[in-house]
Structure 1
Amino acid sequence: MDRKHPLAGVTRSGRSGAAARDDARARQAEQIRERVRLMIEITARAGAYRKGLVAATRRLSPEEAVILSDLERHGMQVPQLHDVLCGGHVLVDDPALYDGWKFDGLSRPRLSSHHRDIDKTRYPDIGMRGHVVREKLHGRTAQGTWVQLEKTPAAFGKRKLPGPDDLKHLMDYVVYRVTRSNVGPWGLSRMTERHPMYLAPVVATSTSLSPPVARALTAALRRIEEDDDVTSVSQDLAVRFPPPDRQDLAGELGQALTERGGRGLFGNSEVWVTETPSLVAAQVLAESHQLPGQGSTRTGGADE
């Protein structure tokens, strides 16, 4: 079932309450679009792209913004956005994105050779065209969703004759075979299906402990906690303020951090060296100030 993302379209209603909600969605949509535009402009300062990317961001559609903002929400950092725009193959362990990236009137079934282990009858690959993504292609994986941006859309399939775009797509495939790099809308990426970019991987597994192991682990954790309790502060204060009495210490191990719990949008990014953050701050720091007591001596008067 196609899901209408709140940023994909805003309908006006005669009711005041619905109109207020529509206005709020419109403001939120524009904020997310502006955020994605800024992310793309930042990467354009630090990386090389084909010409026209910054101009294309001015026509960024709400649907394109949804896809890129969803990737950022799942851990994509600014340096990784470069590979995404250059056609990198991205895996996200979130099956809900498959339906979330279907947009009424824009998305269409597509044929592709990616992830052949998936039942394409049940989960067909989905294509969408846009000014920035050019041709977005996504589908299901066993654990979640994959997505890849392509330079040239391909429309050939059953009962369809190849067109000019299909011939260009075949030329992109030749470039892929020669360079071993995906041909994206704004460059080449080494992040192929065999060596993909993996966002938000589900690596946590649950396992049960045998009773002897659980008892030994709990005893060790309590001993560590007691040692920390008497060494972190004075013994008198430790007695007055005991730590919380938790029954299952072993059960707290391996709990995942909330949200991404990682390095943030600008982790591993070098875009901060591209220019001085503040011209005013740079001007102030460049001025030479004479500290009090240097080069002059103040003598007290008669009233001191």
Structure 2
Amino acid sequence: MKPKHKRAFSTRAERSGKAASHGADAERAEHVRTRVRLMIEITARAGSYRKGLVKAAERLSPEEAMILADLEAHGLQVPQFRDVLRGGHVLVDDPQLYEKWRHSKGSHPRLSSHHRDIDKKLYPDIGMHGQVVREKLHGRTAQGTWVQLEKTPAAFGGPKLPRPSDLRHLMDYVVYKLTDSNVGPWGLSRMTERRPLYLAPVLAVPTSLSPPIARSLTQALRRIEANDDVTAASQELAARFPPPDRPDLAGELGQALSARAGRGLFGNSDVWVTQTPSRTAAAVLRESRAAPAADGWATGGSS
């Protein structure tokens, strides 16, 4: 039989470990919330939204932040983020997101008409209310997960009686039929289920080139590289410093960048940075231009 003091020590250690783990989880959740709030503030600078987006971002819940951060982790860029906030229909090639979001706090089964080819008894559509997402709705596809933000929730077909929000949802449906645009919490989006926004689509299939095509492609790449060498510097210098000889130029086209390749989070967004000029930095730059010559060096003329 173990001594009581050892069991007490073990219990205190376990409680301390759980508290440390909980603190680390809370710190990570707050980091995600801060990042998503900054994304919302940035995208709110360009484009039109319904009023109140930035105010709602201040009350962003950890569950909302997790969903939006998961989309960003799957390649969502700031220009696409606008469509998400406006109710764009998003397809993600990751079925694990369905289960992850299904079990998040505040999630509940929902009825919807999206993706009717999926067994709704096995994979029911899931809703969740939030300050920014208003009403998040997501479900399964054959290969992944879909998600869409709605302006107003609906409870049609359930045991509850119709509510005022159901009537507003019907009005949103009328707007959808008239404009062919989804009605999201912060605007309208043309990204509907028939024209969805794809994230991380599995489209790249590795394949080998036949020898004649590989030779022709290599010759074309060498011509392009030679022209680049001539235009990047004088023809004499280009001849003196040839580029490294790489035997397989065509093979380099199939090499993918590590981690998240592509244009990055901001992509081709209309985002700009504004900041107040630093008077200290300006003073230092002015002094460096008028700095006296060092000893032993002439500033001009002949010595």
Whether these two folds match at TM > 0.5 is yes
Is contact 2:63-2:104 (8 Å) kept? Answer: no
| 1:43-62 matched pairs, under 5 angstroms | 43-62=43-62
- Partner in structure 1 of residue 257 of structure 2: 257
For 1:36 and 1:69, the matched residues in 2 are separated by 7
Is contact 2:90-2:198 (8 Å) kept? Answer: yes
CA deviations over 1:178-202 (Å, ceiling 9, x no partner): 1111100111111111111111111
Amino acid at match of 1:150: E
For 2:264 and 2:119, the matched residues in 1 are separated by 35
- Partner in structure 1 of residue 153 of structure 2: 153
Q: Structure 1 residues 281, 135: closer, same or farther in 2, change over 3 A?
A: same
Per mean C-alpha deviation after superposition, the further-off stretch among 56-65 and 40-49 is: 40-49
| 1:35-184 matched pairs, under 5 angstroms | 35-184=35-184
| 1:18-37 matched pairs, under 5 angstroms | 18-37=18-37
Deviation at 1:121, TM superposition (A): 1.8
Amino acid at match of 1:46: A
Could you state the TM-score of these two structures normalised by the residue count of structure 2? 0.74
RMSD over aligned CA atoms reads 3.6
CA deviations over 1:39-83 (Å, ceiling 9, x no partner): 111111112111111111111000000000111111111121111
CA deviations over 1:80-102 (Å, ceiling 9, x no partner): 11111110111111111111112
Deviation at 1:128, TM superposition (A): 0.5
Amino acid at match of 1:103: H
Is contact 1:214-1:250 (8 Å) kept? Answer: no
For 2:20 and 2:240, the matched residues in 1 are separated by 54
Deviation at 1:109, TM superposition (A): 1.2
Q: Which secondary structure state, in structure 2, belongs to the residue aligned with residue 63 of structure 1?
A: helix
Amino acid at match of 2:137: L
Deviation at 1:256, TM superposition (A): 3.9
Higher helix share: 2
Is contact 2:115-2:141 (8 Å) kept? Answer: yes
Q: Where does the alignment leave 5 or more consecutive residues of structure 1 unmatched?
A: 1-12, 294-303
For 1:193 and 1:147, the matched residues in 2 are separated by 10
For 2:251 and 2:42, the matched residues in 1 are separated by 43
Could you state the TM-score of these two structures normalised by the residue count of structure 1? 0.74
Is contact 1:200-1:260 (8 Å) kept? Answer: no
Q: Which secondary structure state, in structure 2, belongs to the residue aligned with residue 46 of structure 1?
A: coil
Q: What is the identity percentage for the equivalent residue pairs of Structure 1 and Structure 2?
A: 66
For 1:208 and 1:17, the matched residues in 2 are separated by 52
